[in-house]
């Protein structure tokens, strides 16, 4: 017989372990189920999102195909308009002027960016897929997408083609655009576009603009250390802003240099020399931004943030939560600020330039006698004010300091500086909350000194008096006691609900009732707080932005007329009534009462006379004014009723010249008929006699610029030191008032505030 044509097949060795057989079978079934799920999921995903994804892909293909090298040179100017549609200013980046070709960009610049931003730049096709997967997992896990992992190409896409919002769809669009860019342009071209389009803070786009801006010379003349310093900024233009955070910039410079050393693109000797080099900024002189422009930019950036769904917060459960919020805020703020200089926005504001000039003039004239300046030529004695239209809740005028010819950074003290408010804070954290809790202006309280408590500014303690008297005479003892009763937590909660941004844990003590806050408040915050009282207790975010559109008139942001109830209507009517009494005879603001227009207000002076405030309103407008030194120092005649009060009165008199007489909202249940529910004060248990009528002379004329103002008796200060018997204060006889002009002045070109 021949050999058999067929061979028996070898059987697979039989797995004798039953448990192992069961495991393998389970694994096979599981894999089959998993594949089925993936397949079904893929089908569902395609039919649910497939069309959107294909649309994104097609959008990227068409837009990149239509791009040219000129696309990456363009910079659209944003235009700011006042409330009448007239151009106030233009915001423009200068990347088109300072554009460098790839051959003109120093190798150190290219190597620095590749080393720190995208080490695989020359190897990938525009997308780091692992980074995309990490972003997707982050989105699934936390419902948000972080910024990490974007390639240089993706960052270029974000700067030129698509918006800055942090969403999963944006990440997908970024990926498609990046792939298309890599198909059309070379790596050297893309790197050229990137280096010329990234933002270096303070309005500088591209490395050459930054070089001239920060060192006042072209980039080819910079050292390795200076180049690494500039390359540190774009990763976080706010965090690494050399003007405000130069230490952060230097730390990142050192990180970049270390990366370059580790990557072998610089030698050890170069590294050591560069990290030891001192960096001195030589800022290119720019046109100084005025107070309107700085505030408009701030408000517009926040409006853009809001349009992207960002929610502003002022209350946090712990420090970690607050820190996380601040990081997210800073990241989005710098992105939106960056777009202001190239996005071609049309920014429509509520700013009234006529009223702006009047407020600036009031500040300049009132403080003209203070001529001392810093070495930089800035007046040492400063003032700031904010005016809000009560009908709209919008800021119509904002002055952040005295007007003078100078160059460089403009500090807008109206919203960027925070100072101790003195007694001007009492209506917001003490008295209106007390009225919320059952008190009325006629409620009797005890103005008697107690151990551990404050002293009254005039050293006088009046015993049993109504709250109205405590307000008009600015009694510190009463404010302290009421604040302790309603608790600091509740009192300060009203400030947090109104967006006061600098309240910290150390503020939850009785001293805050008298303005003893750790970080203080801004004039913008105080104006919005008092406007809330005038607006029946409803708070509106203080802004000057009405609308923002793109260059094609597509609306990006439209101001929402949202309001939040902070105080009850009855409580603010009581508070308004009391603050009207402040402006009457016997009140600390008696000399500041407006002619022919009901007004209400509150003075504020810190105990060392370093800060003076006056905040007040009519039915038409609310204005808050601060006066003091940038570097705090005592001013012998600084009180809420002197310089701040005079600025307020001068400005508000001008504002109301041609307006119809309008009563304030001051009615409340239980108010007696007549002007006031006067309650006789009890005999004083101690100290000196009550000063006659007013705590300061009622001045009817503005003092001349060269004459020192009369030393007033009113202060709103406090100190826990033991009181001493006050010396009698001599005052000059008030001058005879000038005859009242009954003929109305010629109307200005302002619109009727009723129109908004």
Measured distance CA(187)–CA(196) in Å, rounded? 14
Asked if 347 and 79 touch (Cβ cutoff 8 Å), the reply is yes
Question: Where are the strands (E) in 271-357, listed by range?
Answer: 346-349
Provide φ and ψ at 740, rounded to 5°: -75, 130
Q: What does the DSSP 8-state code read for residue 77?
A: P
Catalytic option among 78, 342, 417, 423: 423
Q: Over 680-721, what HEC string results? A: CCCCCCCCCCCCCCCCCCCCCCCCCCCCCCCCCCCCCCCCCC
Instruction: Tell me how far apart the alpha carbons of residues 723 and 730 are, in angstroms, rounded to a whole number.
Output: 20
Identify the residue whose tokens are 């009463």: 478
**Per the structure block, which two tokens stand in for 250?**
């230097």
The C-alpha atoms of residue 709 and residue 720 are separated, in whole angstroms, by 28
- Do 366 and 256 contact (CB within 8 A), yes or no? no
Which whole-number Å values give the CA distances from 21 to 15, 17, 27, 30, 404, in the listed order? 7, 6, 10, 14, 89
Burial of 751 (0-12, 13-18, 19+ CB in 10 A): exposed
Q: How many CA atoms lie within 13 A of 721 on its CB side?
A: 10
Determine whether 117 is an active site residue.
Answer: yes
Contact 331, 236 (CB under 8 A): yes
Neighbours of 357 (CB within 10 A): 14
Pair 284, 213: CB distance under 8 Å: yes
Q: Which of 67, 75, 78, 117 is catalytic?
A: 117
For residues 645 and 613, what is the distance between their CA atoms, to the nearest angstrom? 7
Sign of CA dihedral 523, 525, 527, 529: negative
Inter-CA distances, 627 with 182, 382, 525, 612, 704, Å? 57, 6, 15, 5, 18
First to last CA, the chain: 115
Name the token pair of 419: 């100072």
Structure token digits, residue 156: 């270029």
State how far Cα 53 lies from the chain centre.
37
Residue found under tokens 């700011």? 80
Token look-up 């405000």 returns 244
- Alpha helix (H) residue ranges in 143-245: 152-160, 168-184, 187-197, 207-215, 224-231
Contact assessment for residue 533 and residue 615, using Cβ atoms and an 8 Å cutoff: no
* Helix H or strand E encompassing 615: strand 611-617
Comparing CA positions, the residue from 198, 203, 200, 252 lying closest to residue 225 is 252
3-state helix, strand, coil split of the chain in percent (to 5) is 40, 10, 50
Q: Specify the DSSP class assigned to residue 632.
A: -
> How many whole angstroms separate alpha carbon 543 and alpha carbon 562?
12
3-class SS of residue 621:
strand
Which residues are within 8 A (CB) of 305 and not within 5 positions of it... i.e. 6 or more apart? 312, 329, 332, 333, 336
User: What secondary structure does DSSP assign to 96-135, as a single string?
Assistant: TTS---GGGS-HHHHHHHHHHH-TTTTTSSS--HHHHHHH
Q: Catalytic amino acids?
A: 117, 423
């Amino acid at each position: 017989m021949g050999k058999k044509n067929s061979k028996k097949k070898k059987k697979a060795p039989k797995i004798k372990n039953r448990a192992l057989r069961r495991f393998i079978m389970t694994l096979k079934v599981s894999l089959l189920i998993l594949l089925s799920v993936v397949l079904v999921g893929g089908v569902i995903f395609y039919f649910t999102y497939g069309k959107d994804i294909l649309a994104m892909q097609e959008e990227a293909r068409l837009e990149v195909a239509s791009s040219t090298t000129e696309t990456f040179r363009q910079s659209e100017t944003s235009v700011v308009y006042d409330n009448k549609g007239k151009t106030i200013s233009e915001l423009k980046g200068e990347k088109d002027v300072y554009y460098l070709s790839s051959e003109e960009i120093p190798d150190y610049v290219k190597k620095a960016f590749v080393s720190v931003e995208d080490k695989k730049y020359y190897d990938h096709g525009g997308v780091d897929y692992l980074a995309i997967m990490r972003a997707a997992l982050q989105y699934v896990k936390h419902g948000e997408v972080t910024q990490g992992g974007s390639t240089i190409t993706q960052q270029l896409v974000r700067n030129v083609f698509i918006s800055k919002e942090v969403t999963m769809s944006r990440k997908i669009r970024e990926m498609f655009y990046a792939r298309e860019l890599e198909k059309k342009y070379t790596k050297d071209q893309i790197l050229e576009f990137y280096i010329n389009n990234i933002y270096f803070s303070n309005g500088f786009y591209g490395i050459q603009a930054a070089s001239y801006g920060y060192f006042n010379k072209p980039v080819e003349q910079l050292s390795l250390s200076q180049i690494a310093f500039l390359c540190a900024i774009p990763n976080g233009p706010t965090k690494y802003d050399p003007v405000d955070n130069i230490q952060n910039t230097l730390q990142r410079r050192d990180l970049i240099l270390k990366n370059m050393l580790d990557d072998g693109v610089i030698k050890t000797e170069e590294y050591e020399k560069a990290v030891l080099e001192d960096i001195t900024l030589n800022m290119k002189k720019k046109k100084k931004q005025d107070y309107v422009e700085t505030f408009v930019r701030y408000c517009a950036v926040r409006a853009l943030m809001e349009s992207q769904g960002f929610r502003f917060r002022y209350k946090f459960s712990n420090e970690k939560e607050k820190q996380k919020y601040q990081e997210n805020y800073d990241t989005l703020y710098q992105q939106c600020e960056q777009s202001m200089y190239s996005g071609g926005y049309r920014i429509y504001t509520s700013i009234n330039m006529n009223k702006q000039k009047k407020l600036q003039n009031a500040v300049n004239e009132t403080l003209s006698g203070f001529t001392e300046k810093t070495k930089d030529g800035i007046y040492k004695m400063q003032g700031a004010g904010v005016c809000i239209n009560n009908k709209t809740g919008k800021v119509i005028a904002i002055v952040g300091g005295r007007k003078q010819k100078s160059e460089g950074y403009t500090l807008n003290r109206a919203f960027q500086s925070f100072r101790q408010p003195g007694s001007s804070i009492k209506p917001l954290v003490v008295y209106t909350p007390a009225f919320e809790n059952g008190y009325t202006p006629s409620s009797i309280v005890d103005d008697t000194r107690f151990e551990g408590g404050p002293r009254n500014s005039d050293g006088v303690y009046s015993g049993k008096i109504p709250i109205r008297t405590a307000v008009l005479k600015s009694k510190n003892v009463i404010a302290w006691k009421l604040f302790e009763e309603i608790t600091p937590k509740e009192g300060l909660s009203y400030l947090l609900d109104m967006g006061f941004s600098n309240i910290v844990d150390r503020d939850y003590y009785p001293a805050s009732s008298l303005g003893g806050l750790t970080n203080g408040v801004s004039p913008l915050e105080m104006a919005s707080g008092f406007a809330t009282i005038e607006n029946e207790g409803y708070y509106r975010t203080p802004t000057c932005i009405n609308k923002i559109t793109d260059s094609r008139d597509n609306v990006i942001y439209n101001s929402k007329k949202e309001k939040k109830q902070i105080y009850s209507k009855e409580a603010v009517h009581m508070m308004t009534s009391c603050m009207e009494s402040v402006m009457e005879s016997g009140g600390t603001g008696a000399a500041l009462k407006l002619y022919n227009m009901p007004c209400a207000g509150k003075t504020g002076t810190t105990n060392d006379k370093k800060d003076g405030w006056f905040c007040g309103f009519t039915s038409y407008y609310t204005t808050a004014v601060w006066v003091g030194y940038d570097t705090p120092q005592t001013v012998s005649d600084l009180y809420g009723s002197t310089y701040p009060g005079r600025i307020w009165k001068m400005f508000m008199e001008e504002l109301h010249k041609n307006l119809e007489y309008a009563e304030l909202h001051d009615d409340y249940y239980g108010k007696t008929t007549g002007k006031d529910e006067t309650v006789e004060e009890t005999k004083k248990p101690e100290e000196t006699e009550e000063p006659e009528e007013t705590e300061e002379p009622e001045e009817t004329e503005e003092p001349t610029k060269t004459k020192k103002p009369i030393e007033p008796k009113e202060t709103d200060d406090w100190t826990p030191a033991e009181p001493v018997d006050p010396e009698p204060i001599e005052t000059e006889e008030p001058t005879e008032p000038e005859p009242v002009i009954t003929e109305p002045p010629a109307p200005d070109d302002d619109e009727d505030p009723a129109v908004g």
